[in-house]
A and B are shown apart, each in its own frame.
Chain A
């Protein structure tokens, strides 16, 4: 297997036919064998009949029989680490990892060094993203200056620079009064606010989920209540202010209940969940193999199983899967968080939180389809139109006339997660050594085939 990356800027001129693949477009509800014509970077045509001989002339023709033709994935939660921690990831390596995982649009988190709390940093990240010429890099902006949870950042400046959401991701805004004003200010700007829900007093000192596993391993625990309390607080504040609240990386059943209830009451609440939270439980920290088919046993105190929020219990995992199925959780987002050896090959208690995820997200999502926990249409929606709709972003659909961001997937392809084959600069994945089913073969951005997997 070798990966071919073809960066570029602006729409690709010319015509490409993707012939007779299973096209799934959750925005229109389409799930059928279709052929797709891409012309000058846009979706020109989606139709049942394959192109005839005349149409094939002067066009690139790609046979997609037995493959899925999907809208390019939209990942709302990616840490690109640049500027500041280029040893872990750069924008260029990050977007390589993204398109290799089928992601054509991503939202970069603001916890760079310095924090993305000014237009200058945002423009830097945007321009590096454009130069990389692979996935579309959208920026979030910090809610508070320096993400310190105190003074509001210049949110109008951030919005005018193109920021699509405000978040202090990695940290909560602990001060409820500051959060209330931030939500009000963001509402004037029509910006959603994404929360990393964690009551720092309840989570204080914790290294994994609090429960029987943390007790057995002797690791200090973070109770699920640390997340649920903040989700509930911020739902109340969203109700008070009329703001659009987006709950990042939901990990606890109690959060799911709170979000379900808030949505039922008509509040503007959206939410995302990560592949690791719907695949693994806190048993992974003890090295117990997960229920995933043929998952290898891990190792006890594996720092690749350490993240925030932590992996939770099986009932939490099931609640998240259920919420993905019924749409209470709108989006699958990776929380791709690259870390190097000095962050992870250390004592569990002082290891950094987070794992990489861009390249394993699709296969882990499809496994929920195979177990019958999620329909294929819902799975595709949570990777594509679900996240686009949640934060009002372009993309996530194959509607005629939109930018041709397209991902071609072989759902049956089995591959082994190997650190040498991953494109992220960091290799901190708990799925290393796993055999996964489902692989991205081609990724198109604005009609350009930016990524292709060659193996034959």
Chain B
């Protein structure tokens, strides 16, 4: 039977935040609001501290410093990553937690142990949370079934990347206010994108209409069943949107014959300044990074006034602080609401 700890679906226990963050799909609207509220607060506090530091006055202790004092989190990354891992580690340290960073090569199988062996070994070390990135979809779900500590999905294969969608939502709310009735276009390699899947679930719950668009070779069958519209041209996708999110094109897409070249991709799907000029005045441009300059986004778009790409990075730390504080139950949803 599916139990709470198996699926991370703990919405039926009011007031208790789920121990795991495995996917955005199973988050309730109330849980999303709790994370975003707390993240917005953390982000503001961090900005205030930065301002004080820059004015070279004596630095006051950040108010969130001790929420995770005495706790230890491990970042267990089976895939190379710099920004997500450093973002999680910065977030954990900002809350006073100890951090162990583990970069693994290959799968549990390649070491001759089962997934449970790998997970239970780390649990036995005495950590409080496993922040897991893995090239295969579903691994955080499988690990969460085996351990008692919190499991936070930092990206699993082509499945989900929930904290990325949360930081996108925070960034979009800051730019646009309430997302109810807003339209967001996600453009690019939808098939291989965990960012796209997490955003479809997250933005949809927050009331936004999501469109996905990209070459047919990169649109997975049945994606509309997740709750989005599918567009087959960039002009159709961008028509009247409040925000556009471009996704990274991997070189692999050329070797597996999904695309002829990045050049040909950008001819059809690259977002140029002329596209941005046709957007409503308030519309913004996002990208989860790292950006291939001139492929997904023209350089002037990336560096231009509509771009919120650097803002996304800043939101990322705040969102991950909120997720860790809530999953480790250092703060309750009621305290966030108060």
How far, in angstroms, from A210 to B222 measured CA to CA in the complex?
Answer: 9
Sort A-B residue pairs by CB-CB distance and give the 5 closest, nearest first: A218-B159, A212-B222, A301-B138, A349-B136, A345-B114
Report whether A219 and B141 are in contact in the complex, using a CB–CB cutoff of 8 Å: no
Q: Tell which of A215, A220, A350 touches B107, judged by Cβ atoms closer than 8 Å.
A: A350
Q: Which residue of B lies closest to A344 (CB)?
A: B114
Verify if B134 is at the interface (C-beta below 8 Å from A): yes
Verify if B2 is at the interface (C-beta below 8 Å from A): yes
Report whether B114 and A287 are in contact in the complex, using a CB–CB cutoff of 8 Å: no
| Given known A300-B138, A300-B141, contact A346–B220 (CB-CB < 8 A) | no
Report whether A347 and B138 are in contact in the complex, using a CB–CB cutoff of 8 Å: yes
Q: Which residue of B lies closest to A297 (CB)?
A: B2
| Given known A212-B225, A299-B145, contact A218–B137 (CB-CB < 8 A) | yes
A sample of 23 inter-chain contacts (CB < 8 A) reads A212-B222, A212-B225, A214-B220, A216-B222, A217-B159, A218-B138, A218-B156, A218-B159, A218-B194, A220-B158, A296-B1, A297-B2, A300-B2, A300-B6, A300-B7, A301-B138, A301-B142, A346-B109, A347-B115, A347-B138, A348-B136, A348-B137, A349-B157
Report whether A219 and B114 are in contact in the complex, using a CB–CB cutoff of 8 Å: no
| Given known A217-B159, A218-B159, contact A346–B221 (CB-CB < 8 A) | no
B198 to chain A, nearest CB (A): 10
B210 to chain A, nearest CB (A): 14
| Given known A212-B222, A348-B138, contact A299–B6 (CB-CB < 8 A) | yes
How far, in angstroms, from A311 to B226 measured CA to CA in the complex?
Answer: 21
Report whether B137 and A217 are in contact in the complex, using a CB–CB cutoff of 8 Å: yes
Give 1 or 0 for each of B215-243: 1 = CB within 8 Å of chain A CB. Answer: 00000111101100000000000000000
| Given known A301-B142, A342-B114, contact A215–B137 (CB-CB < 8 A) | no
Verify if A83 is at the interface (C-beta below 8 Å from B): no
Verify if A87 is at the interface (C-beta below 8 Å from B): no
Q: Which residue of B lies closest to A341 (CB)?
A: B114
Verify if B205 is at the interface (C-beta below 8 Å from A): no
Verify if B197 is at the interface (C-beta below 8 Å from A): yes
| Chain B residues whose CB sits within 8 angstroms of the CB of A297 once the complex forms | 1-2
A384 to chain B, nearest CB (A): 36
Give 1 or 0 for each of A333-347: 1 = CB within 8 Å of chain B CB. Answer: 000000001100111
Give 1 or 0 for each of A171-215: 1 = CB within 8 Å of chain B CB. Answer: 000000000000000000000000000000000000000111111
A214 to chain B, nearest CB (A): 8
| Sample of 9 more A-B contacts, CB < 8 Å, known A300-B2, A300-B138 | A215-B221, A217-B137, A219-B137, A219-B157, A300-B141, A301-B139, A347-B107, A347-B136, A348-B137
How far, in angstroms, from A214 to B222 measured CA to CA in the complex?
Answer: 9
Q: Which residue of B lies closest to A349 (CB)?
A: B136
How far, in angstroms, from A345 to B146 measured CA to CA in the complex?
Answer: 11
Query: How many inter-chain contacts with C-beta < 8 Å in the A-B complex?
Result: 95
How far, in angstroms, from A212 to B7 measured CA to CA in the complex?
Answer: 20
Verify if B11 is at the interface (C-beta below 8 Å from A): no
| Chain B residues whose CB sits within 8 angstroms of the CB of A341 once the complex forms | 114
How far, in angstroms, from A161 to B107 measured CA to CA in the complex?
Answer: 42
Verify if A430 is at the interface (C-beta below 8 Å from B): no
How far, in angstroms, from A220 to B108 measured CA to CA in the complex?
Answer: 20
| Chain A residues whose CB sits within 8 angstroms of the CB of B135 once the complex forms | 349
Report whether B109 and A218 are in contact in the complex, using a CB–CB cutoff of 8 Å: no
How far, in angstroms, from A118 to B108 measured CA to CA in the complex?
Answer: 36
B189 to chain A, nearest CB (A): 13
| Chain A residues whose CB sits within 8 angstroms of the CB of B6 once the complex forms | 299-300
Q: Tell which of A221, A299, A345 touches B115, judged by Cβ atoms closer than 8 Å.
A: A345
Q: Tell which of B141, B156, B220 touches A215, judged by Cβ atoms closer than 8 Å.
A: B220
Q: Tell which of B115, B116, B222 touches A211, judged by Cβ atoms closer than 8 Å.
A: B222
Q: Which residue of A lies closest to B198 (CB)?
A: A218
Report whether A219 and B159 are in contact in the complex, using a CB–CB cutoff of 8 Å: yes
* Residues 318-344 (chain A) with a chain B CB within 8 angstroms: 341-342
A30 to chain B, nearest CB (A): 43
Q: Which residue of A lies closest to B145 (CB)?
A: A299
Report whether B2 and A219 are in contact in the complex, using a CB–CB cutoff of 8 Å: no
Give 1 or 0 for each of A206-244: 1 = CB within 8 Å of chain B CB. Answer: 000011111111111100000000000000000000000
* Residues 233-291 (chain B) with a chain A CB within 8 angstroms: none
A260 to chain B, nearest CB (A): 25
Q: Tell which of A216, A217, A301, A342 touches B109, judged by Cβ atoms closer than 8 Å.
A: A342
| Chain B residues whose CB sits within 8 angstroms of the CB of A298 once the complex forms | 2
Verify if B128 is at the interface (C-beta below 8 Å from A): no
How far, in angstroms, from A213 to B220 measured CA to CA in the complex?
Answer: 10
How far, in angstroms, from A215 to B228 measured CA to CA in the complex?
Answer: 13
A330 to chain B, nearest CB (A): 32
| Given known A215-B222, A215-B223, A218-B194, contact A347–B142 (CB-CB < 8 A) | yes
Q: Which residue of B lies closest to A342 (CB)?
A: B114
Q: Which residue of A lies closest to B226 (CB)?
A: A216
How far, in angstroms, from A214 to B197 measured CA to CA in the complex?
Answer: 12
B161 to chain A, nearest CB (A): 10
B3 to chain A, nearest CB (A): 9
Q: Which residue of A lies closest to B2 (CB)?
A: A297
B116, B157, B194: which has the most chain A beta carbons within 10 Å?
Answer: B157
How far, in angstroms, from A301 to B194 measured CA to CA in the complex?
Answer: 16
How far, in angstroms, from A212 to B137 measured CA to CA in the complex?
Answer: 15
| Chain B residues whose CB sits within 8 angstroms of the CB of A349 once the complex forms | 135-137, 157
How far, in angstroms, from A300 to B114 measured CA to CA in the complex?
Answer: 17
Report whether B160 and A218 are in contact in the complex, using a CB–CB cutoff of 8 Å: yes
A351 to chain B, nearest CB (A): 8
| Chain B residues whose CB sits within 8 angstroms of the CB of A296 once the complex forms | 1
| Chain B residues whose CB sits within 8 angstroms of the CB of A346 once the complex forms | 107-109, 114-115
Q: Tell which of B1, B108, B157 touches A218, judged by Cβ atoms closer than 8 Å.
A: B157
Verify if B70 is at the interface (C-beta below 8 Å from A): no
How far, in angstroms, from A365 to B1 measured CA to CA in the complex?
Answer: 24
Q: Which residue of A lies closest to B8 (CB)?
A: A300
Verify if B60 is at the interface (C-beta below 8 Å from A): no
How far, in angstroms, from A219 to B139 measured CA to CA in the complex?
Answer: 11
How far, in angstroms, from A347 to B104 measured CA to CA in the complex?
Answer: 14
Q: Which residue of B lies closest to A205 (CB)?
A: B256
How far, in angstroms, from A299 to B144 measured CA to CA in the complex?
Answer: 11
Verify if B177 is at the interface (C-beta below 8 Å from A): no
How far, in angstroms, from A296 to B2 measured CA to CA in the complex?
Answer: 9
Report whether A221 and B221 are in contact in the complex, using a CB–CB cutoff of 8 Å: yes
| Chain A residues whose CB sits within 8 angstroms of the CB of B305 once the complex forms | none
How far, in angstroms, from A350 to B225 measured CA to CA in the complex?
Answer: 27
Verify if B112 is at the interface (C-beta below 8 Å from A): yes
Report whether A348 and B142 are in contact in the complex, using a CB–CB cutoff of 8 Å: yes
| Chain B residues whose CB sits within 8 angstroms of the CB of A213 once the complex forms | 222
B257 to chain A, nearest CB (A): 10
* Residues 117-138 (chain A) with a chain B CB within 8 angstroms: none
